Amino acid sequence: MTDHLFKEFEIPQPFAWKNLAEKELGAPLSEIKRWIPSENLVFSPYATYDGRPAEESDSIRQCQRSDTGWLNTPLLRDYPLEEAVEKIGHLIQNGADAILLDPVGTAPAPADLHQLLSLLQSINTRFFFQPKNRDNNIIKEIYNFGGLKAGGIALDPVAEWLQNGSDFRGYLLHISELVQTKSTAKNFFPLLVQSHVFQEAGADPVQELALCLATLVLDLDILTNTGLSPEKALSLIYFSIPCGPQYLTEIAKLRAFRSLHVRIAQCYDIKVIAEPFIHSTTSAFHHSEDEPYTNMIRTTAQAMSAVTGGCNALTVYPFDQSFKTPNDFSERIARNVSLILSHESSLNRVADPAAGSYLIEDMTLQLADSAWNLFLEIEEKGGIVPYFLSGDLRRLLDQRWNEQIEALKKDDVMVGVNKYVQQTENRVKTTMPPVPWPPYLPKRNLARDYHVSISQAHQEKP
């Protein structure tokens, strides 16, 4: 239909891109560092229109969001519930579209919780509640509150089990019972599947995606065994996926996840597949405690990856949140990153802004295929539960984590961590304690653990 357009311009052949790139870079492409997001996966420095069949790219695009924009969702952490009510009003007036609430304490008073829910109802604000424990009465109160039309409960029971051994089946059965007793609003999600637990243990993007799928399948199997249909079970779940520093790779990661979500739905013979709701955050794993202001730049790039990749909600962590309670300044900077991307960069006006990029399309397809193959390997071993109990999961992530530490000792650069470092006497000297059996997943920080590794190496020298 458009073949007759722009016929004066020939389609560049791959060698033309290669020659131009080498001329501009002043070196052969063979000497340019390649992107290696995962073992056995190497991204080319460029891609062309004939690199993949058109139908493969089309299938990826069809899985992406059809609408635009995202919810600016700041994290409100460690506030007593009665103080959170006033704080939420301030956040909404200053650019927040939704709230991720992680309150202080274990069990909020019912009166305080009801006051909070009533406020959120009155200002029509989405609310994601991140409880510090699994008080079923609190979960039930939130779920049954009639005025809460959108949001969710930010609790992934499988992720908690992987970190501390807490029971996950009981929570899933409780949610199933609630759902069968009272239907939920269309845009309220009582279950979360997240990949933070994997990234913070050392996972690369392929492993993140594969393990997220394995968690999703475990949840779906348990829920459908209680009598819920696959369609209903899948509709209860939303996803939280952090974005790291590999800018283009992280864009492709979110796009690949939407494609993989469709594959899983098709495996359960779901006919009408709703778009997944993806909450994305900046990466706490890549925060630097010694050079906190560099985190402002990191989180900005990570936030751009998230919104370009098509997240529905975005939480930008304050630059100092990894080592202290954020103050008004750091919270405002984090909130404004999302606002600038929306109002000044206009990224909120375009659906799937990465569509049509040969390189990102190719990266998306490769990530999806690699993650699917790893997911199938995990399923062949019985799924994520036996894979974890056997120690295979911990060994997989430990290996990748060690590779990341070694890469920082060689060629990889983390500004303020292993290059352009300002000497400081305030660095916290820590050790990495062994994790007992069963091999629970540790919560790591790349910059901190790099310094620990260097310190230990110096101590071991004769």
Domain definitions of the chain by residue range: 62-360
pLDDT, residue 404, reads 92
Question: What does the alpha-carbon distance between residue 142 and residue 148 come to, in Å, rounded to a whole number?
Answer: 8
**pLDDT beyond 70 at 461:** no
> Does the predicted TM-score (pTM) go above 0.85?
yes
pLDDT, residue 459, reads 61
Structure token digits, residue 155: 């609790």
Question: What does the alpha-carbon distance between residue 295 and residue 68 come to, in Å, rounded to a whole number?
Answer: 27
**pLDDT beyond 90 at 72:** yes
Question: What does the alpha-carbon distance between residue 336 and residue 328 come to, in Å, rounded to a whole number?
Answer: 12
Helix H or strand E segment including 188: strand 187-189
At 1, the pLDDT band (50, 70, 90 cuts) reads very low
pLDDT, residue 369, reads 96
DSSP string, 355-415: TT-HHHHHHHHHHHHHHHHHHHHHHHTTSHHHHHHTTHHHHHHHHHHHHHHHHHHTT---B
pLDDT, residue 3, reads 56
The b/e string for 272-299 (b: 16+ C-beta within 10 A; e otherwise) is eeeebbbbbbbbbbbbbbbbbebbbebb
Nearest of 347, 314, 318, 342 to residue 71 by alpha carbon:
314
* Preceding amide of 438 cis, omega within 30: yes
Identity of the amino acid at 209: L
CATH code of domain 62-360: 3.20.20.240
| Over residues 423-435, mean pLDDT | 56
Instruction: Work out the mean pLDDT of the chain and round it to a whole number.
Output: 87
| Over residues 144-158, mean pLDDT | 84
The three-class DSSP label of residue 237 is: strand
Question: What does the alpha-carbon distance between residue 65 and residue 310 come to, in Å, rounded to a whole number?
Answer: 7
Question: What does the alpha-carbon distance between residue 80 and residue 347 come to, in Å, rounded to a whole number?
Answer: 35
Sequence-separated (6 or more) residues with CB below 8 Å from residue 178 = 139, 140, 143, 144, 190
Q: What is the pLDDT of residues 26-64, one digit of tens each?
A: 888 777 777 788 888 888 777 776 666 778 878 888 999
